């Protein structure tokens, strides 16, 4: 072999070794690489496996939150209504017959709510969905919306359209009805005051309001209360109460509101008002406020 041929042979060998190092040859794949490859393969297989969810097993936990216990949720709901009847009795002095009618209506309202919930439960009984499948994901979203609605149903028993409310209006005489109307109005004021307090607590800290400014701004909010749904607000742990207050600020006379704060505070206040406006559609959609 010539010197030139020997040089070319060595050069080819070096190139071959470099290509193996760069591109990787079978002799470079050791035990660690096998483990990594196996793990990647298993992860891929798991990702392709169906994620089965039995909706029937999810219902109690989601329909009767936070306890997840049907009996406890029903008793709490009925107990709340019977407390309202007791308050009505204390204020208006109900006769035994009047009280019995109101308590019977309360029990019927709870029973009707449970009938509606049971109808939804029957619809999902035995149903299993695959969360890896688009159709399963859509069904899960529908189920979640139904669950939220059913949770709200027990919270809202005894509301404005309930049988108990209609019976109360029918059994009271004129004097009792007048007394109860005044009491109900006071309760609405207290409920709105709690929303104002929740929002003003944040605004007070962010703006550094004086006591005089705080009282003046709270006064404006109390003059123009929004029509709120206390049960829906409670259902969300009052997390949205400050946003309701901020939205209420956006509906006030902005010149009167601006006159209460200085220029530095005004910029931050506008940010709070914008937050309220941004949440308005959601608050209405979730029926936390009515307009």
pLDDT digits (tens, 9 = 90+) for 91-109: 999 999 999 999 999 999 9
- The verdict on residue 77 lying in a domain is yes
Give the range of the structural domain holding residue 233, as residue numbers without chain letter.
185-290
**Residue 9 token pair:** 């042979």
Query: Which residues, including other chains, have CB under 8 Å from residue 144's CB and lie 6 or more apart?
Result: 62
| Domain membership flag for residue 19 | no
The region of weakest confidence among 48-52, 174-178, 196-200 is 48-52
Do 263 and 198 lie in one domain? The reply is yes
Lowest mean pLDDT: which of 21-30, 115-124, 137-146, 232-241?
A: 21-30
Domain stop point among 148, 172, 196: 172
Q: Is the pLDDT of residue 202 over 90?
A: yes
Predicted pLDDT at 282: 94
Rounded to whole angstroms, what are the CA distances from 53 to 121, 139, 140, 151?
Answer: 15, 11, 9, 20
Residue 233 lies in a domain: yes
**What sign does the dihedral 90-96-101-103 (CA atoms) show?**
positive
If asked whether residues 148 and 204 sit together in one domain, one would say no
Residues 71 and 166 in one domain: yes
DSSP states along 161-205: TSHHHHHHHHHS-HHHHHHHHHHHHHHHHHHHHHHHHHHHHHHHH
The pLDDT of residue 190 is above 60? yes
What gap in Å lies between CA 223 and CA 207, rounded to an integer?
22
- Range with the largest mean pLDDT of 69-73, 103-107, 121-125: 103-107
Range name among 55-64, 87-96, 202-211, 281-290 with the lowest pLDDT average? 55-64
Sign of the torsion formed by the C-alpha atoms of 55, 56, 58 and 64: positive
Q: Which one has a higher pLDDT value, 290 or 192?
A: 192
Question: What confidence tens digit (pLDDT) does each residue in 40-67 have?
Answer: 555 454 445 568 888 888 888 888 887 8
In a shared domain, residues 116 and 201:
no
Q: Check if the beta carbon of residue 251 is closer than 8 Å to that of residue 259.
A: no
Q: Could you tell me if residue 178 is inside a domain?
A: no
Instruction: Round to whole Å and give the CA distance between 182 and 200.
Output: 26
Q: Do 155 and 221 reside in the same domain of the chain?
A: no
37 band by pLDDT with thresholds 50, 70 and 90: low
In the structure encoding, which two tokens stand for residue 118, read together?
Answer: 């049971």
Picking from 105, 137, 172, the residue at the C-terminal end of a domain is 172
Q: Are residues 232 and 160 in the same domain?
A: no
What does pTM read for this prediction? Answer: 0.70
Structure confidence at residue 65 (pLDDT): 80
Co-location of 110 and 62 in the same domain: yes
């Amino acid at each position: 072999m010539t010197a030139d041929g020997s040089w070319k042979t060595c050069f080819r060998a070096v190139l071959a070794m470099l290509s193996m190092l760069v591109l990787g040859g079978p002799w470079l794949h050791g035990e660690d690489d096998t483990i990594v490859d196996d793990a990647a393969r298993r992860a891929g297989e798991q990702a392709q496996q169906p994620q089965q969810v039995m909706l029937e097993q999810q219902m109690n936990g989601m329909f009767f939150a936070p306890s997840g216990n049907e009996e406890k949720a029903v008793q709490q709901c009925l107990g709340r209504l019977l407390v309202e009847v007791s308050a009505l009795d204390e204020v208006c002095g109900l006769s035994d017959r009047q009280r019995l009618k109101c308590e019977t209506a309360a029990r019927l309202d709870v029973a009707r709510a449970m009938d509606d919930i049971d109808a939804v439960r029957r619809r999902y009984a035995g149903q299993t969905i695959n969360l890896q499948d688009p159709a399963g994901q859509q069904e899960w979203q529908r189920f979640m919306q139904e669950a939220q609605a059913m949770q709200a149903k027990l919270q809202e028993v005894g509301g404005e359209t309930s049988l108990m409310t209609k019976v109360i209006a029918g059994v009271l005489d004129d004097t009792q009805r007048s007394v109860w109307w005044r009491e109900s109005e006071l309760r609405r004021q207290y409920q709105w005051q709690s929303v104002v307090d929740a929002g003003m607590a944040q605004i007070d800290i962010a703006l550094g309001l004086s006591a005089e400014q705080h009282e003046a701004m709270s006064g404006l909010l109390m003059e123009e209360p929004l029509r709120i749904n206390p049960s829906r607000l409670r259902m969300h742990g009052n997390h949205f109460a400050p946003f309701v207050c901020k939205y209420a600020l956006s509906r006030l006379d902005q010149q009167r509101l601006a006159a209460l704060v200085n220029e530095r505070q005004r910029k931050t206040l506008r940010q709070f008002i914008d937050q309220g406006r941004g949440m308005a559609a959601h608050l209405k959609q979730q029926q936390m406020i009515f307009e």
